[in-house]
Structure 1
Amino acid sequence: MASIGEQIVKLYVGKLPYRTTDQDLNDLFGQYGQVLSATIIMDRETGRSKGFGFVEMSNDEEAQSAMSQLNNSSLEGRTIIVNEAQEKRDNRGGGGGGYPRRDSGGGGGYRDRRY
């Protein structure tokens, strides 16, 4: 029985075989309920899987069922981890806006040039 205001549950899925696809994840979790999205996280530089992904399910009961059945289960010889995804933390601790820090010694830096 669905209640008003049920929210989407996002699950983290780790230690996946590197050849697992979004569709494989969708099919696996679809056995336990409605999958709204299934995404494998890819490395930007290589285009290869990072070995983890996220699944969004339509309600908590189905997500809990998938978690309890799939956590520490075997997928293509690998023991996968399934748990509720944590909110992404903002790790930008006031640094240099993503630019590498220049040490003051050694010369060669843009501040050492005479314009």
Structure 2
Amino acid sequence: KMFVGGLSWDTSKKDLKDYFTKFGEVTDCTIKMDPNTGRSRGFGFILFKEPGSVEKVLEQKEHRLDGRLIDPKKAMAMKKDPVKKIFVGGLNPEATEEKIREYFGEFGEIEAIELPMDPKTNKRRGFVFITFKEEDPVKKVLEKKFHNVSGSKCEIKVAQPKEVYQQQQFSSGGGRGSYGGRGRGGRGGGK
């Protein structure tokens, strides 16, 4: 897989694929778009069938496409980010932030608590997100699936990034309640 930077805003997926096909068979090609403007963000990714094609691209000193000098590099393997954020469902909306902090603070230092509001009723929803400073408290919390917080039996899960959640929601027919908002603004290219 290769990362390609320095692309012209006019370069299309087809242009990118056509250019790199001369180095080997291209199995996938994407250009990252800005979700707000719909314009190219000036970079994309190419996936070759054979790893040897990447080396061929790198052997060539200069690459020009649509009048621009472009910059293909090997795509770095994404480092898995440590999981520090949890989703707490089934929580009594009356539970105060102090009570939530008191309970989950036993597991480790809390960086942030998000208490989503329902825009229609302007009341708290029955779930919260908690971000810890470290990864270890999350592991400890997840040892038990259910926790009794402020008189409510709460289900704990790892908080999914919005993008992943929206894909899951889409593929499961919109199933699981109101967790994570209702898919605003598409899948922002946060890779």
TM range (shorter): 0.5 to 0.7
Larger strand proportion of the pair: 2
1:79 to 52, 69, 84: 69
Larger Rg: 2
**Structure-2-length-normalised TM-score:** 0.41
| Structure 1 residue 51 corresponds to structure 2 residue 42 | yes
Report sequence identity in percent.
Answer: 33
Q: Which residue of 2 aligns with 1:65?
A: 56
Distance in 2 (CA, whole Å) between partners of 1:46 and 1:67 is: 32
Please, which of 6, 20, 23 is the counterpart of residue 29 of structure 1? 20
Contiguous gaps of at least 5 residues in structure 1 = 1-9, 100-115
Equivalent residue letter for 1:75: L
Letter in 2 for 1:88: M
Number of matched pairs: 88
Q: Partners of 2:41 and 2:79 in 1: how far apart? A: 19
| Equivalent pair of 1:11/1:63 in contact (CA under 8 Å) | yes
Larger deviation, residues 43-52 vs 81-90: 81-90
Which sections of structure 2, spanning at least 5 residues, go unmatched? 85-110, 115-191
TM-score of the aligned structures, taking structure 1 as reference length = 0.65
Q: Which residue of 1 aligns with 2:5?
A: 14
Q: Is the 8 A contact 2:11 2:66 kept in 1?
A: no
After superposing on structure 2, the runs of 4+ consecutive aligned residues of structure 1 that deviate more than 3 Å are 89-97
Structure 2 vs 1, CA of residues 11 and 96 (structure 1 numbering), >3 Å: closer, same or farther?
farther
Root-mean-square deviation (CA, aligned residues, Å) is 2.3
Give the C-alpha shift of residue 48 in structure 1.
0.6
Find out whether 1:39 has 2:65 as its counterpart. no
